[in-house]
Each structure stands twice: as C-alpha cells, then as structure tokens.
Structure 1
C-alpha cells in the first residue's frame, strides 16, 4: 500500500502581487511535488479581479518551471465533474487576497471547499496571501466586515487561527492579540508582510523571510487574561537560496 502523502499548506506574507523579487513564489514552487508543478491561482476573494489575474499571468506565465492556470468562479466555465478533475490534478493551489468571508461563502456555494480538502489529502500544496492565508485555518483575523474583527468558520485544515499583515496594517497586532486573549480566536499564527510559513500535517516545518525584520509569530493565551507572543526563527530567502526566476 502506498504511503499517504504529506498534507502541506503555506501562509504567505507576500508574493507576485506585492513583491518584485519573486522570492516567496520561488520558495512556494520549491515545495511543490514534481519538477514542473501545475499552479492554479484562485482569485475568488477579489471577485476574480481582472487586474489581479493579469498580475498572476504576467508573473507565472513566462516561467518554464511551472504550468500556471486560473480558476474563475464568478464566470464559472466548468461543470462539477470538470471542476473536480481540474482541481485534483493541481500541484499548488495559490489563493489570492481580498475578502475572507466572501471567499469562503463562494467556495461553499460551488463545493470548492470540499474539493480543496480532497486535494489537500492527495498532497496538493495549498497556499495564499491575506484572505488566501486566512481561509485554511479554523479561525482568522479579518477586515471582511469593515472594522478588524474575528472570523471562526474557516476550512479548519490548519488547527488554530491566522492573522495576516501583522506588522503593516494599523490595529492588526493589538486586535488579534485581544481576540486570542478573550478566547474569540484560538491560539494561532501571525505573519508579517515579507514572511512565509510552511506547515506539514498541521505542524510548522519552516518559516522564511524575504525582508529583514519580517517574521512569523506564535500567539497563545497566557492563562491570566493576556497572550504570549513568540517570534519564530526564519530562514532568510535570497536569490541563491531559491530556484532562479527566468
């Protein structure tokens, strides 16, 4: 009997939509199975914004080290069987940023949440930035409803909660810490812009950074009404540490 593949997902604090160096995207591709992975961009959280899709196509379309594609759900072209077949052959599913609550609602309407669970179980690497990082956890810190708040109905593939933009958006850090301290969100992971975190079978296996000072944090209740925040060691990404961009 074949061994079950590892279940992997990555939280990104950057990538093609925010960075010029491509280091986080190179790191993602280096984690993918196979020499020329199929990479599907899912821009649901932005409403399939054309400009966002074009950014992805520009960044990945000329790369010889992957096979890029895009899954549109606001102008869906695939029936249920074709959608399942399409998603289950992907090596990487790369989810874009936007509105986390809307993303989850649309996925559930189309059954994409179930298909992504299936793909994850088969070894597909799931990853994303902002809403595309939030969606994998049990809960997340979000501005989906306007003010910063918490959302507790994520996909739950990653135990605990996630907070993106931990250093770059005013109010993120204290608001997330308060939600964890109050028990509104379970203990979790905070990712600063420029950093990334890889989880294998729900366990953190690597944290990386493309920007000096950017990091990944574990945030937990301290048992006395506050939180403990632990900065985690991050490997610095450099052009020589990742496959070259062509």
Structure 2
C-alpha cells in the first residue's frame, strides 16, 4: 500500500506586496510558490478591520494575475462554521493583510479561524502576509498594536521564534526589537526590512528574496550577555 506524501508546511513573511509596491514582484514570487496554473488566493483583511479600500486594492492587484482571488471578511461574516472550514481548506494561498496584530489574533480566535489556519497549514496551504500578517504566524512579534512599539508574546506559533516587520523603515523598530530579544521578552527571531520576502518550510528558512537592492532579512538572537546580535542573510534580488 502506498503512503501519501505529507505536504511541506509552508509560510512566507512579506516586507511589502500589493498594498505598498507598484512592481508586484513579491506577490508574483508568492504565486510562483503556490502551485498550479491558477491557484486560489484568499485575502484575510482582519487586522485592518476589513477595510474596504484595502480589499479593493487586493482584488485590483490579483484579478489581473493567473489566480482565483477571494476575500474572507469576518466583521460581517457570511459563512457558517462548516462553510468557513470548506472555504479556507480549498485555498492554495492565504494572504493576510497588515494592521493591528493583537486585534487580528483576538478576532480569529473568536471565529475559530486560528484552528482552521493550523489545519490548512498542515495540509500544505501556503500561508503568508505583510506586517501584522507576518507577525501572526510566529510565537511572538514586535508590534505597535497598543500604540508605542512593544513586544507581543502571542501568535499562532507556526513559526518558531519571533518576527519584526518594518525593520528599516519605522523609527525605533531596530533598537526596540533588539532590546526585547536581549531581555528575553521575545525569543530570537526574524527581522524584515521593507521589500524582503522569506519562505519557510516546516519552520526552516528555505529562501530569502528582495525587490529592493540592499534590503536584508536578519536573524536576531541574544548575544550571551546583555544585548542582541543580528546577522544579515543573503537575499536574492527579484527581477
């Protein structure tokens, strides 16, 4: 009797995409990893409160691509539990937008979306997202969900460690994240400069790319003393 292959559990952290970039390079990179000629791509805009303009921007960007785009709103939810599970598990890509990470996690848990995303992840659905949509997959993250930049020791835990977005573009991000890792309030993790994409399979980094020459992905770890060290990883420049 043959045994079906267990699909790799994959997720991608994005330092950009349709919401901020005009060239579409990071989104095209995601689609190349989706599999199939017309992958199903579901946008989850929970972190922005299902902002209508954000949804339209996603649809405008993905309707012209070789994929089947859709949106999962939760603030005006239309699907019952069975239909919601069927819908999410049918997707090839779940693309989570930016906004408030803490609110996103709370709403997902209220609707059971966190459990469904874990199931989809185990079945091989590519999970990805930008900003809050990158933070949510890890054990913890660096966030402005509560106003000032701080640590959030909460997440789905699909990616071991922590995540920090906007590492180069928002004042205070770099020193604040390094301080959290040094103090142990966040575990060692990954810091993304804008323009970078990082792909993980079963929790291990398999590819790092950038649409912006010179932008980096960093591994940030305690230095064994009272500080933290960062190591830049080579990112392939997208053309």
With the shorter chain as reference, the TM-score category is: over 0.9
Which residue in 2 is equivalent to 1:110?
Answer: 111
Contiguous gaps of at least 5 residues in structure 1 = 239-246
Residue 71 in structure 1 maps to residue 72 in structure 2: yes
The alpha-carbon deviation at position 97 of structure 1 amounts to 0.1
Q: Residues 132-177 of structure 1: CA distance to partner in whole angstroms, max 9, x if unpaired?
A: 0000000000000000001111000000000000000000000000
The alpha-carbon deviation at position 184 of structure 1 amounts to 0.3
Which residue in 1 is equivalent to 2:176?
Answer: 175
Which residue in 2 is equivalent to 1:132?
Answer: 133
Alignment partners' CA distance in 2, 1:67 and 1:217: 33
- Aligned residues: CA RMSD: 0.5
Which residue in 1 is equivalent to 2:231?
Answer: 230
The alpha-carbon deviation at position 215 of structure 1 amounts to 1.1
Q: Helix, strand or coil for the counterpart of 1:68? A: strand
Alignment partners' CA distance in 2, 1:88 and 1:181: 38
Which residue in 1 is equivalent to 2:188?
Answer: 187
Contiguous gaps of at least 5 residues in structure 2 = none
Q: Residues 32-79 of structure 1: CA distance to partner in whole angstroms, max 9, x if unpaired?
A: 12221000000000000000000001000122x100000000000000
Q: Helix, strand or coil for the counterpart of 2:105? A: helix
Moved more, 30-39 or 106-115: 30-39
Alignment partners' CA distance in 2, 1:145 and 1:185: 16
Q: Write the mapping of 1:8-157 to structure 2, written as runs, cut at 5 A.
A: 8-63=10-65, 65-157=66-158
Q: Helix, strand or coil for the counterpart of 1:28? A: helix
Alignment partners' CA distance in 2, 1:78 and 1:146: 32
Moved more, 187-196 or 28-37: 28-37
Alignment partners' CA distance in 1, 2:54 and 2:107: 18
Q: Helix, strand or coil for the counterpart of 1:169? A: coil
The alpha-carbon deviation at position 115 of structure 1 amounts to 0.1
Q: Residues 87-144 of structure 1: CA distance to partner in whole angstroms, max 9, x if unpaired?
A: 0010000000000000000000000000000000000000000000000000000000
The alpha-carbon deviation at position 234 of structure 1 amounts to 0.4
Which residue in 2 is equivalent to 1:243?
Answer: none
TM-score of the superposed pair, with normalisation by structure 1: 0.96
